[in-house]
Amino acid sequence: MGLPEHSVRQSAAVARRVLVAGAGGVLGRHVVRQLIARGERVLALVRRSRSAAAVQALGAECRVLDALAPEALRGIGDGVDAIVSCLGAPVTPSPFVGRRPYTRVDAPANISLADEAVRAGVSNFTYVALAGGRACRTLNYADAHERVVDHLEKLPIAACIVRPTGFFGAMAELVSMARWGVLPIFGDGAALTNPVHEADVAAVIVQSLDRAESSMIEVGGPDTFSRKAIGKLAFEAIGRRARFVHVPPKLARCGAMMLAAINPRAGHFVRFATHVMTTPCIAPCVGSQRLADYFHEYARKG
């Protein structure tokens, strides 16, 4: 008796070996967890050895390497069926997590990984870029991702480009900042967006591995807010009255230029943050998790 179609797909999936780059990051861990739950074999690439224990605990085989080191990726694609890359320089204004611009981390590391995928005959490559990235290539953060997309488009491999809006995790910092009593808003705070939970993005990524053709998927969450409304949610989560200080975008861009002189990547991040806070960014709703629940849970954990 034949297996039902669903079971056949599951059995085929079990046979796959999936390499996840950036596996120690916020999104990467969700991807690893969901792949393992689906029965896939996962080879996780992490940069820092302290991330290795966490992904091994999820059941993944792990390699610690710096993708920017010469020859670091040679041979890594052998025996791999599909690659997911969530690899990128940290998306934070902190000047203490590296200085190299995004174009000198995200682009070269992911381009080398894509070339290795082709060399090793890997059948598909899923890359996480960003919603609206094509339209703001003058920004270093967006251009770094778009360089990878351009490269993948030229390669003989089924490439899936996943373009999420902002992750809940990236917004959660607002809850911590709201505890200071006042939140900065670049511009009037009216630009709309629909942030998405990392786990919802990971679910889209895991499904993308079943695609044989190249594709592009924009991923947003279920609720669309203005940037000011997101700030208000952060205050609500801690039970405080919302208070904002409006920073003129010109001033924020000046601040970004000054910061870039000390730390180029931190400066590029602030330029990008100014752009996203003043420009609408809405993607088709794919996710189901709610930002208000996430903020309340984040606030409860302290």
Ligand X SMILES: NC(=O)c1ccc[n+]([C@@H]2O[C@H](COP(=O)([O-])OP(=O)(O)OC[C@H]3O[C@@H](n4cnc5c(N)ncnc54)[C@H](OP(=O)(O)O)[C@@H]3O)[C@@H](O)[C@H]2O)c1
Footprint on residues 167-186 left by ligand X (CB under 6 A): 167, 170
Least separation in angstroms between residue 230's CB and ligand X is: 12
DSSP label at 102? G
Residue 287 sits in the site that holds ligand X (CB under 6 A)? no
DSSP H or E run through 48 = none
Least separation in angstroms between residue 141's CB and ligand X is: 7
Segment interacting with ligand X (CB under 6 A) among 152-160, 163-171, 267-275, 288-296 = 163-171
State which residue has the least CB distance to ligand X: 25
Segment interacting with ligand X (CB under 6 A) among 9-17, 45-53, 224-232, 256-264 = 45-53
**Beta bridge pairs of residue 63:** 45
Looking at the Cβ atoms of 74 and 250, the one nearer to ligand X is 74
Least separation in angstroms between residue 109's CB and ligand X is: 5
Q: How many CA atoms lie within 13 A of 249 on its CB side?
A: 14
**C-alpha span between 90 and 108 (Å, rounded):** 15
Cβ–Cβ < 8 Å for 20, 31:
yes
Residue 108 sits in the site that holds ligand X (CB under 6 A)? no
How far is the CA of 191 from the CAs of 102, 144, 187, 221, in angstroms? 25, 24, 9, 16
Looking at the Cβ atoms of 2 and 96, the one nearer to ligand X is 96
Residue 48 sits in the site that holds ligand X (CB under 6 A)? yes
Residue 128 sits in the site that holds ligand X (CB under 6 A)? yes
Site string for ligand X, 56-95 (x = CB under 6 A): ----------xxx-----------------xxxxxx----
How far is the CA of 254 from the CAs of 34, 122, 182, 267, in angstroms? 42, 45, 21, 10
Phi/psi-derived region of residue 132, left when phi > 0, alpha when psi is between -120 and 50, beta in every other case: left
Segment interacting with ligand X (CB under 6 A) among 5-13, 105-113, 178-186, 210-218 = 105-113
Residue 20 sits in the site that holds ligand X (CB under 6 A)? no
DSSP label at 69? S
3-state DSSP assignment of residue 238: coil
Cβ–Cβ < 8 Å for 199, 168:
no
Least separation in angstroms between residue 258's CB and ligand X is: 23
How far is the CA of 119 from the CAs of 114, 149, 287, in angstroms? 9, 18, 34
Least separation in angstroms between residue 101's CB and ligand X is: 13
Exactly one of 73, 80, 105, 291 binds ligand X (CB under 6 A); that residue is 105
Residue 51 sits in the site that holds ligand X (CB under 6 A)? yes
Least separation in angstroms between residue 7's CB and ligand X is: 32
How far separated are the first and last CA of the chain, in Å rounded? 54
**Chain residues that interact with ligand X, rule: CB under 6 A:** 22, 24-28, 46-48, 51, 66-68, 86-91, 105-106, 109, 128, 130, 164, 166-167, 170
